Every structure is written in structure tokens, then in C-alpha cells.
Amino acid sequence: MVDRRYELAVIGAGPAGLTAATTAAGHGLDVVLLDEQAAPGGQIYRSIEDAPARRAELLGPDYRHGAGLVEAFRTGGAHYCPDTSVWSLGADREIGVLRDGRASLIRAQRIIIAVGAMERPVPFPGWTLPGVMNAGAAQVLFKSSGIAPAQGTVIAGTGPLLLLLAWQYLRAGVPVSAVLEMAAPGHFLRAVPRLPAALLAGHYITRGMKYLWQLRRAGIPVRYGVSGLRALGDGTLDVVEYLRHGRRVRIASDSLLVHFGLVPNMHLAEAAGCRHRWDEGQQCWRPVVDAWGNTSIEGIAVAGDNAAIGGARTAAHAGHLAALEAAHALGRIDARQRDTRGKDDRAWMRADLRIRPFLEALHRLPQSLLATPDDDTVVCRCEEITAGEIRRAVREGHADPNQVKFITRCGMGPCQGQQCVHAVSHIVAAETGQPVAGQIPLRARPPLRPVTIEALAQLEAEAAPT
Ligand SMILES: Cc1cc2nc3c(=O)[nH]c(=O)nc-3n(C[C@H](O)[C@H](O)[C@H](O)COP(=O)(O)OP(=O)(O)OC[C@H]3O[C@@H](n4cnc5c(N)ncnc54)[C@H](O)[C@@H]3O)c2cc1C
């Protein structure tokens, strides 16, 4: 049953979705904002409305910036559905939602998908051991409840979040044993030519240097050139092991927080059938969009990190542009008004995105980490499919991720491949010798969030003619 129809449905209440919903409501559109979190803010501004002042202070000024966005949204007139998961999206703009265990369908004339990014899952030996966790997930716990590893932690991987989290922990008095940077060898050299352009968005570099300097001053080792990461332990993490300068190093720890950069949360756009392409710079799949966020499917736009990793400020501007386009498409403003109102966003985004090529080169992941996990390493955590099983399927002639899925069930579990889509692409490419760009990524099939049979049956019953 279609519960309700809206002119615009925005999915995701991060900076992109909040700005899109506020802007569209400001142009008189009937807007609904759907988000599975309990409160607006998305990843970066999570719990911004009720974070105690001390915690907000520890998390830094970037975090506090979100308060204004959320306040504008709260008073902006958009209809807000928190605790609401979107579990399906069709090209006909029918949206399957789940709230309080009840599934329903809504429809909108236009949709802006603003579901952000997720941390790139990278399978490595021991990554499924209790005690190993994503750094972003640990940060979520800290933002929402002030929870941090009691006995200290090792932080490993690559990307700006590594230093940021270590710095936030340092300020909160959480012991950090080491920060292990695992970018591909030669990353500094590759990044240097991109530095002059990056300096035009120099505040990011200054901030990174500040974190690094304060960590070093506090005596926290920040190690570059790390590879061969392994999490070891009998049932739970005891030791973090890595290679550096040809030497194997071991650190006793019951907590390892890993982060290998962000990848767009592509599943809703994929489920709707939007065209995707491989982005070699960001080493990920992303939807093909035009300058207003329009995808290959009429009436469906994508904004924010969900379209390409650009950070929170760029996400907010992209949300503004997508909302202007919706207001234009629905007859509230003409093309000239849309273009004029979007001018500042474009200028802002151009300036802000100057840092990206530098960051992409600096934090580029080595192929050895992406494509060659040991045969025993689990790649699909839902169905417990190992790298060896994927390779065997490829050697048997299934040289495409979706064939591998069909044969092994990899990507068919509750997450519907969200966790393993990139790893499978890399392994298949390495095994076949063909570039990832030529593949079709694992297809997303609803339900994209677990939905009970009971909820689906009720949906059917409600839809049946009486
Ligand atoms: C774990 C993590 C931590 C991060 N921490 C930082 C940080 O400290 N500093 C920083 O500068 N950047 C950080 N980033 C990057 C930053 O979050 C993004 O650049 C920015 O938030 C992008 O904004 P967005 O609006 O595109 O998406 P997001 O802020 O990610 O918002 C997306 C929203 O979509 C919702 N959503 C997703 N799927 C569904 C669904 N199926 N149904 C309903 N709702 C859904 C989510 O609940 C979320 O609220 C982090 C990213 C991640 C993944």
C-alpha cells in the first residue's frame, strides 16, 4: 500500500539531506526526510542536538558546525521521519520504508538520495576477531555515548579519519598505542604534484598537520610505511602485528580500530537501477550524476558523499543544488533562478574539492591490500565466504562478480553485498587480469535492510483489494 505521496522525498539526514530538505521546503515543496537514525545530523553531526558541551568541545569545531544545519532543518517545514529505514527503491520512485517494525510504501515525484558514505571494508587476516572494529564506528560510539576503548587502542589503515580519531581520543584521555598508516608505497611522491592545488584548500592540510604535531608531542607513535596487518588472538584480539622496513612488529592490544577511507553508500541508487562507474582516483564505484545530482533515472538525484566522497561542506552544497533542481523540475523556480541560486554552491565546491586529488594520492590503498587477502580470509561476512572460495569460482570460469555471487552466495546475506562489493570486484579483477572498471558491480536486491516476513506479509495484506 502506498501510504503517502510527496513531491520530494529526501533519504538521509546528513549535511546533504538536511540542506536539501530545508531548501526544498523553503521553495514550497511538500518534502519528507527519511532517516534511520533517531536524530538528524548524519555521520559527521551525529547526536549534535544532545551531545554534552564537553563532548562537543572535544570533537572540535567541524562537529559543532552541524548545529546550525540541524536547527534550520527543524524550523524549515519539511516532514521528518526519524528511525525510518529505506529498504527498497524502484525506478518508478516507490520507496519501501520500515518504521517501528512496520513496512510501508511511499511515492514521490522526485527523490534525492543522500545516504552518505560508509567505511571501506577491507578483509585482512583476523579482521573478524572481536576487538577489531572500524575507526568510524568507534567514533560513532564516542559521539553518541562517550564510549571509547578502556585499555587503549591501535588505530590502523589510511585516510584523514585516522589522525582525527587519534587526536579526539588524545583530547579525551583515551590511550592510543600507535597510529599505523598503510597507504601504498610512494604515496608522498605521488601526492606532491597535487600539493599546490591542495594548498588552495589549505585549512584541511593545516588541520592534519596540527593533529599530527599534537599526537607526536604527546608521544603517540605515528608509523608510515606499514603493511601486512594481522589481528591475532584466540577467540578475541590479543596482538596486532604488522610489517615495517622488512621487520615484523607486534603490539599487545585488545582493541584495533581500522579505517581504509570511505566509499559511497551505493546500494539505494544501485537498487533503483542508476548507472554506476568505477572511479579510479577514489578506488570505488559511484553513481553517474550531472552537475545537479541527476542520475540516469528520471526524477532520482544523488547528493553528498553518496555521489562521490567530498566531505561534509561539499555535501551540504550538493544538497542545496539538488533541491534547487527539484524546485525547478516541480515548477517553483525557473532555470535562471535555479542557476543564480546555485552559483555560490558551485564556487564553494570548486574551492573545497581542490584538496581531493591530493588526499586521494596520499591515501591511495595498495593493490596488495585490496586484492590479495589470504585464501582463508573471510570476505563476505554475512555468508562466511572466503577469498579462496571466490578465487575458485573465478578459476572455474565465473569471471564476473555477479556470477561469483550466484555460485558462492557471496553478497546474498542481510547486508546484500554492501560490505563485500568492492573486495569482490578487486579479487575478481586480480584473478582475471581485467580492470575493475569493466565489471558490473554486485547487484543490490531489496530488501536492502532486514525486513521480517511478518512486515512484508502485512504490506501485501494492506495492498490487497478488500
Ligand atoms: C563512520 C563515519 C564517520 C565520519 N566521521 C567524520 C568526521 O568526524 N569528520 C568529518 O569531517 N567527516 C567524517 N565522516 C565523513 C562525513 O560523514 C561525510 O563527509 C559527510 O557526513 C557526508 O554527508 P552526507 O550528507 O553525504 O551523508 P551522511 O552524513 O553520511 O548522512 C547519511 C544519512 O543517511 C542515512 N541512511 C543511510 N542509509 C539509509 C537507509 N537505507 N535508510 C534511511 N536512512 C539511511 C544515515 O542514517 C545518515 O544519517 C565520517 C564518515 C563516516 C562513514
Task: Kindly give, in sequence order, each residue whose CB lies less than 8 Å from that of residue 342, ignoring residues fewer than 6 positions away.
Answer: 292, 320, 321, 324
C-alpha closest to that of 304 among 290, 314, 295, 294? 314
2-118+263-333 and 372-466 share one CATH topology? no
312 lines ligand 1 (CB under 6 A): yes
Ligand 1 centroid – CA 72 distance (Å):
18
What is the Cα–Cα distance from 195 to 120, expressed in whole angstroms?
Answer: 25
60 lines ligand 1 (CB under 6 A): no
Q: Specify the length of the chain in residues.
A: 466
Task: Kindly give, in sequence order, each residue whose CB lies less than 8 Å from that of residue 431, ignoring residues fewer than 6 positions away.
Answer: 390, 391, 394, 395, 399
40 lines ligand 1 (CB under 6 A): no
pLDDT of the residue at 464: 54
Tell which one of 32, 37, 43 to mutate to probe ligand 1, the residue whose CB is within 8 A of the most ligand atoms. Answer: 43
pLDDT of the residue at 2: 47
188: left (phi over 0), alpha (psi -120 to 50) or beta: alpha
Ligand 1 centroid – CA 353 distance (Å):
18
State the pairing for strand pair 102-113/2-11. Answer: parallel
Backbone angles phi, psi at 260, to 5 degrees: -120, 40
64 lines ligand 1 (CB under 6 A): no
pTM: 0.91
| Ranges of each domain in the chain | 2-118+263-333, 121-260, 372-466
pLDDT of the residue at 320: 98
Domain 372-466, CATH: 1.10.10.1100
DSSP 71: H
What is the Cα–Cα distance from 312 to 62, expressed in whole angstroms?
Answer: 9
Task: Kindly give, in sequence order, each residue whose CB lies less than 8 Å from that of residue 462, ignoring residues fewer than 6 positions away.
Answer: 1, 104
Q: Which residue has the cell 558546525?
A: 65
Ligand 1 centroid – CA 84 distance (Å):
15
State the pairing for strand pair 153-158/256-260. Answer: parallel
168 lines ligand 1 (CB under 6 A): no
User: Between vectors from CA 75 to CA 72 and to CA 78, what angle results, nearest 5°?
Assistant: 95
What is the Cα–Cα distance from 41 to 202, expressed in whole angstroms?
Answer: 26
Superfamily assignment of 121-260 in CATH? FAD/NAD(P)-binding domain (3.50.50.60)
352 lines ligand 1 (CB under 6 A): no
Residue type, 193: P
Tell me the torsion sign for CA atoms 385, 391, 395, 398: positive
Ligand 1 centroid – CA 398 distance (Å):
35
Tell which one of 11, 35, 44 to mutate to probe ligand 1, the residue whose CB is within 8 A of the most ligand atoms. Answer: 44
Mean pLDDT by 10 residues, the chain (466 residues): 81 98 98 96 85 75 83 96 96 95 94 97 95 95 87 94 94 95 87 88 86 96 95 96 96 97 94 94 94 98 95 96 98 98 95 90 90 89 95 94 94 90 94 92 90 86 53
Class level of CATH domain 2-118+263-333? alpha beta
Q: Which three cell numbers stand for residue 228?
A: 601486512
